[in-house]
Amino acid sequence: MSIRTKIFQIYFKPELKSQCDPLFTPLDNTANPRPELREWDVWNREHETILEQNLDLWGFVSWKFKEKTNLSAEQAFDHINDNPGYDVYLFNPCVVNEALFTNNWEQGDVHHPGISQIGNTFFAKLGYDDVDVLATLLDRNRTVFANYVVGNQRFWRDFMAFSRQLFTEADKDTDFKHRVFGAGLSKYAHDNSLPMFTFLIERLIPTFLDLNDYRVCPYVYTNETLPEKYRPYANDIKYLSDLKVLTNKYNSDELYDVWNYFRMDYLRRNPSILGLE
């Protein structure tokens, strides 16, 4: 494990510290001054301090990392150390969402209605007039949920500057501010007070990666490391995920049609699979 790589494991209650992996660096968020912003607020508060440490790579995971990914800290560091030279490493815990949705935005509209429209509005405000967040097929080389991202200084400097513009643009437009930061507008089933903001961040990361030339290395599960709940569907998930990668590799409308047909048919025959996430 490189001594210049740190993965911070965030905990927000004292009793959760004991559940952190000792190879991760525990990060105390018990004070939690902006709980509605979730982990982004921790990133923002710690950003300059971490830059001063002059790390090669760093990232953040939750205290639920093992539960969500089935991976230990050792396995996460092994993935990074076995694949040197990348700007960003992804540990996506939601493999069904990656395989069966065009991108995080399409999946997001199911649970947070209208989130893709907010995304398009934000990109338009920043001058990305040709971006339609729903139109881009994002495969596993860009897709991540739960914000389990490890990146280098370039990535974190760029992404924090980019994401901070949500606040800048909100100060210029009261309607946009309400749509992004209005309490409860995310319709999140587990916390009906949350704004869209935290779920926007989760979806902005993959699109941000796609719009820039970062070298990205996703963790790809094996049959042995795949969480147990996915194993009955492992071959189908891999097939659909591979099809997305090939579609983008060859920029093929024909392969996209094949993927789209099979994912729609698979969802029709297995509607409960989305409940795994």
Note the pTM of the prediction, 2 decimals.
Answer: 0.95
* Residue 189 binned pLDDT confidence (cut-offs 50, 70, 90): confident
pLDDT greater than 90 at residue 178: yes
Averaged pLDDT of the chain:
96
What pLDDT does residue 209 have? 98
User: What pLDDT does residue 192 have?
Assistant: 87
pLDDT in tens, 26-49: 999 999 899 999 999 999 999 999
Question: Which position has the token pair 């967040």?
Answer: 133
pLDDT value, residue 3: 67
Mean pLDDT across the stretch 156-163?
A: 98
Cα–Cα distance between 117 and 175 in angstroms, integer? Answer: 13
Query: H helices of 7-64, where?
Result: 39-52
Question: What gap in Å lies between CA 62 and CA 12, rounded to an integer?
Answer: 9
Q: How confident is the model at residue 2 (pLDDT cuts 50, 70, 90)?
A: low
Given a contact cutoff of 8 angstroms between Cβ atoms, the answer to whether 83 and 167 are in contact is: no
